[in-house]
Amino acid sequence: MWKVKLLGRSEVQKLLQMNEVLEAVERAFRLQAQGKVNMPAKLYLDLPQYQGDFRAMPAYIDGSAGVKWVCVYPNNWERNLYSVVATIILCDPHNGYPLAIMDGTYITDMRTGAAGGIAAKYLARKDSSVVGMIGAGAQARTQLMALREVFPEVKEVKVFDLEEFARVKYANEMRAILDLNVRPVSAIEEAAEADIIVTTTPSRKPVLLKRHVRPGTHINAIGADAPGKQELETELLKEAKIVVDDIVQASHSGEINVPLSEGAIKPEDIYGTLGEVVAGLKKGREGDEEITIFDSTGLAIQDIVCAKLVYEKARQEKVPAFELI
């Protein structure tokens, strides 16, 4: 008899805290740079007839193995459903048997938010105090949660979204949750007057332009996670230090995928990976006037370290397991 923990979203939310996720994901990036992980490329199952896609994301890291099966349906908001829905299977690498099957949607939000926080820790100016959010969906919430952990002195957050109700709702919710001065703005230009800018849109054409961005700004480009997506103007990329989470994955489906395919930038224009910066193999920010960009595509190792964290806490709290095999 083999028992498996089945953990829904409510259980995962209770067990997962942003400060712990930041620590786990930072370690994952460090191990990646040190060559101590096994992470094949994402496998895409495109379903254009349904305006969505599925992705299989397997990985082994630090004694844990598993896979995330995740779909991305940008129009799900019209159905009052999550745009990103994921399930994670965590397995025992010694025998291949499953240890847990859990909601991966909340983990996806939290680990992606943590990646942005870690990137800002190494790439943003230490005195950063104003954050500009472009996009007000679920991912924008965990991005700000992580930034607040890393930069407790943040004093102002400006949020822009094409939908007025979305930016007003976001501002009200995050103001209450984080006790921050969060206010909606009606133009990207105003949101971009910030020390740290976070873009979390599904756009296939640039929304943040070079003229919007001041010297010394750090940008977390989160939204581009599939071929053809692009949130930042190519001219802005040319002026910045570009750090990616994974070179191959970012080249195929990250913020750099379109300008690379068009020949507007070259592979050698990419400074390096966040893991290399975290591990001390490459420097982070090197000047107050430098524009830095983190291109986040989301890595399976982030999911697995967070799933392991949830599983271990579930064991400690004696969450029931069920016979599966």
Q: State whether 140 and 263 are in the same domain.
A: yes
Q: What's the pLDDT at 121?
A: 98
Q: How many domains does the chain have?
A: 2
Q: How far apart are CA 191 and CA 152, in angstroms?
A: 20
Q: State whether 74 and 149 are in the same domain.
A: no
Q: State whether 293 and 240 are in the same domain.
A: yes
Please indicate, yes or no, if residue 117 is contained in any of the structural domains.
Answer: no
Please indicate, yes or no, if residue 246 is contained in any of the structural domains.
Answer: yes
Q: Are 3 and 98 in contact (CB under 8 A)?
A: no
Q: Residue 294: which CATH number?
A: 3.40.50.720
Torsion of CA 101, 105, 110, 111, to 10 degrees: 70
Q: Residue 11: which CATH number?
A: 3.30.1780.10
Q: State whether 42 and 176 are in the same domain.
A: no
Q: State whether 10 and 94 are in the same domain.
A: yes
Residue 280 zone, left/alpha/beta (φ > 0; ψ -120 to 50; rest):
left
Please indicate, yes or no, if residue 49 is contained in any of the structural domains.
Answer: yes
Q: How far apart are CA 134 and CA 325, in angstroms?
A: 46
The pTM is what? 0.94
Q: State whether 20 and 141 are in the same domain.
A: no
Quick check: helix, strand or coil at residue 84?
strand
Question: Does the active-site annotation cover 68?
Answer: yes
204: containing domain = 123-298
Q: State whether 69 and 137 are in the same domain.
A: no
Q: How far apart are CA 170 and CA 84, in angstroms?
A: 18
Catalytic residue among 5, 68, 308, 313: 68
Please indicate, yes or no, if residue 242 is contained in any of the structural domains.
Answer: yes
Please indicate, yes or no, if residue 115 is contained in any of the structural domains.
Answer: no
Q: What's the pLDDT at 323?
A: 87
Instruction: Name residue 294's amino acid.
Output: F
Q: How many CA atoms lie within 13 A of 243 on its CB side?
A: 30
CB 34: neighbour CB atoms within 10 A?
12
Q: What's the pLDDT at 49?
A: 96
Name, in order, each residue with C-beta under 8 angstroms of 176's C-beta and a sequence gap of 6 or more.
Answer: none
Per-residue pLDDT of the chain in tens (325 residues, 90 and over written 9):
789 999 999 999 999 999 999 999 999 999 999 999 999 988 999 999 999 999 999 999 999 999 999 999 988 988 989 888 999 999 999 999 999 999 999 999 999 999 999 999 999 999 999 999 999 998 999 999 999 999 999 999 999 999 999 999 999 999 999 999 999 999 999 999 999 999 999 899 999 999 999 999 999 999 998 889 999 999 999 999 999 999 999 999 899 999 999 999 999 999 999 999 999 999 999 999 999 999 999 999 999 999 999 999 999 999 999 888 7
Q: What's the pLDDT at 82?
A: 87
Instruction: Name residue 132's amino acid.
Output: G
Q: State whether 180 and 76 are in the same domain.
A: no
Please indicate, yes or no, if residue 259 is contained in any of the structural domains.
Answer: yes
Q: How far apart are CA 251 and CA 238, in angstroms?
A: 15
Q: State whether 17 and 155 are in the same domain.
A: no
Q: How far apart are CA 59 and CA 67, in angstroms?
A: 6
Q: State whether 9 and 26 are in the same domain.
A: yes
3-state secondary structure 207-267: CECHHHCCCCCEEEECCCCCCCCCCECHHHHHCCEEEECCHHHHHHHCCCHHHHHCCCCCH
Q: What angle do CA 93, 16, 166 make, to 5 degrees?
A: 125
Q: State whether 31 and 145 are in the same domain.
A: no
Instruction: Name residue 217's amino acid.
Output: T
Q: State whether 289 and 305 are in the same domain.
A: no
Please indicate, yes or no, if residue 193 is contained in any of the structural domains.
Answer: yes
